[in-house]
């Protein structure tokens, strides 16, 4: 009788462990996008260092970025890119993108730099990313943050 009981417990335990898989949690979370650095070039165009954050527990490939940029209260234009960048789980990476802002946005940034004042910005749009072994998904982005002039670096906000 004891042998049968031990065998039954062993079978149940083996079945339980087999159902656990590899123990890796596969969680896909919305990624984030923010401006890490904005550099004003001599021709008035901007170079935007866009930080892409993968909060998922699995790697994701960032394929598309379409973000409406607003600085201060002025629309600057739309930042569009196809970075094709793979980012590991719970990690971030930066992609540098050229950007031709509106005239009103150029004035707002110039004023912020000249006065050494913080610059509020907004990013609204979507990021297209592909989780490991899955299909492309579009994630909504709505980021509000602030950039500050960098001491000793003319034309640079971080």
> What's the pLDDT tens digit per position in 74-120?
999 999 999 999 999 999 999 999 999 999 999 999 999 999 999 99
Does residue 66 belong to any structural domain of this protein?
yes
Residues in contact with 124: Cβ distance below 8 Å, sequence separation at least 6, in sequence order: 67, 68, 70, 141, 142, 143
The residue range of the domain holding 121 is 24-157
Does residue 14 belong to any structural domain of this protein?
no
Please report how many Cα atoms fall inside a 13 Å half-sphere around the Cα of residue 85, on the Cβ side. 19
Q: How many distinct structural domains can be found in the chain? A: 1
Tell me the per-residue pLDDT of 9-45, one tens digit each, with 9 for 90 and over: 556 555 554 555 555 678 899 999 999 999 999 999 9
Does residue 3 belong to any structural domain of this protein?
no
Does residue 16 belong to any structural domain of this protein?
no
Please state the separation of Cα 79 from the chain's center in Å: 14
Does residue 107 belong to any structural domain of this protein?
yes
Angle at 95 between CA 89 and CA 99, to 5 degrees: 145
- Average pLDDT score over residue span 126-138: 93
Domain holding 64: CATH number?
2.60.40
Tell me the per-residue pLDDT of 55-74, one tens digit each, with 9 for 90 and over: 999 999 999 999 999 999 99
Distance CA 97, CA 80 (A): 9
Distance CA 125, CA 106 (A): 21
Does residue 7 belong to any structural domain of this protein?
no
Does residue 11 belong to any structural domain of this protein?
no
Cα-Cα end-to-end distance for the chain: 73
Q: What local confidence, expressed as pLDDT, does residue 3 receive? A: 61
Q: In the structure, how many helices (H) and strands (E) does the chain have?
A: 2, 9
Does residue 122 belong to any structural domain of this protein?
yes
């Amino acid at each position: 009788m004891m042998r049968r009981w031990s065998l039954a417990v062993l079978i149940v335990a083996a079945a339980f462990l087999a159902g656990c898989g590899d123990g890796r949690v596969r969680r896909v979370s919305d990624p984030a996008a923010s401006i890490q650095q904005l550099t004003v070039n001599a021709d008035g165009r901007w170079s935007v260092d866009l930080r892409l954050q993968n909060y998922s527990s699995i790697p994701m490939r960032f394929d598309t970025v379409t973000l409406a940029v607003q600085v201060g209260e002025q629309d600057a234009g739309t930042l569009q890119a196809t970075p094709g960048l793979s980012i590991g789980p719970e990690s971030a990476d930066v992609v540098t993108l050229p950007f031709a802002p509106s005239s009103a946005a150029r004035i707002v940034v110039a004023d912020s730099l000249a006065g050494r004042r913080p610059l509020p910005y907004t990013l609204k749009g979507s990021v297209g990313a592909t989780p490991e072994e899955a299909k492309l998904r579009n994630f909504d982005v709505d980021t509000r943050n602030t950039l500050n002039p960098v001491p000793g670096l003319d034309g640079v906000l971080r």
